[in-house]
Amino acid sequence: MSKKEEQTNSVGNEGVNTDFINNMTYGDYLHLDTLLSSQKRLSGHHDEMLFIIIHQVSELWMKLILHELKTSIASIEAGELSPAFKMLSRVSKIQSQIIHAWDVLSTLTPSEYIQFRDDLGQASGFQSYQYRMIEFALGYKTPHVLKIYEKDPKLLTHLQEAYKSPSLYDVSIHALSKAGFPIDEDVLHRDFTKPYKENDSVLAAWTEVYRSTDKYWDLYELAEKLIDLEDWLQQWRFRHMKTVERIIGHKKGTGGSSGVSYLKKVLDHQFFPELWNVRTSL
């Protein structure tokens, strides 16, 4: 290396630490040795690495989504809406990252995927417990999926706790009640293990919020954060469905689900029905 190159490389790096014998490094902090050694291909096929990393990255993003949702639910429950707005905005941005991940996975062709699909056995994204917990946090409670996790009692207990807890929408409806809106008692004291069903008193409350935005600005902003979240989630689901259709067509999923047919069906589900219906009622 020439003297000029040495001088160029040293510019701005004079104070950089290089002695880490007794200090924590970037890799130590992030446990990169564990993280980057967790991509273990079963087939040895080149494209299996893509398949593993896309799903692992999505699970990491879902971990952050759950972290934000859990705290935002607690914040709304405590009547502190402003911090929840920041968290819910972050969730929407995270969802956009997962949507783009499907674009990367869609570079996997059917010819490439069939080279290692059988090596997956019955493992399937349908079994993602973090995705189920996101659904639970948003109010979509489906008891039959809990059976999938009976293999791990500790995980099952964790899921059952989330299954029995109020959803993001439940605490938002309670916020309406605390603001003085007359919400039906059977909604306020409903069984949180049941899927939420739309209610006229909730629709009437959200309608008034949208008609009197100056008076109920915080609730109006909350409503729009919820709409953002569901909008992005549906786009996530749609990209998932189209990616699966592009790669395996209408074959059954590795976990036994109906694949594309199932994914199309869940697109019709709404987490916050009154917030969509209010657009028609205004």
Annotated binding site: 51-55, 113, 117, 240, 254
CA distance to 204, 206, 210, 235, per residue, from 216 (Å): 14, 10, 8, 29
How far does Cα 170 stand from its chain's mean position? 18
Q: How far apart are the first and last CA of the chain?
A: 72
Check: CB of residue 240 under 8 Å from CB of residue 95: no
Tokens 């949702």 locate to 69
3-state secondary structure the chain: CCHHHHHHHHCCCCCCCCCCCCCCCHHHHHCHHHHCCCCCCCCCCCCHHHHHHHHHHHHHHHHHHHHHHHHHHHHHHCCCHHHHHHHHHHHHHHHHHHHHHHHHHCCCCHHHHCCCHHHHCCCCHHHCHHHHHHHHHHCCCCHHHHHHHCCCHHHHHHHHHHHHCCCHHHHHHHHHHHCCCCCCHHHHCCCCCCCCCCCHHHHHHHHHHHHCCCCCHHHHHHHHHHHHHHHHHHHHHHHHHHHHHHHHCCCCCCCCCCCHHHHHHHCCCCCCHHHHHHHHHC
As annotated, the binding site for substrate includes 51-55, 113, 117, 254
**Distance between CA atoms of 171 and 134, rounded to whole angstroms?**
15
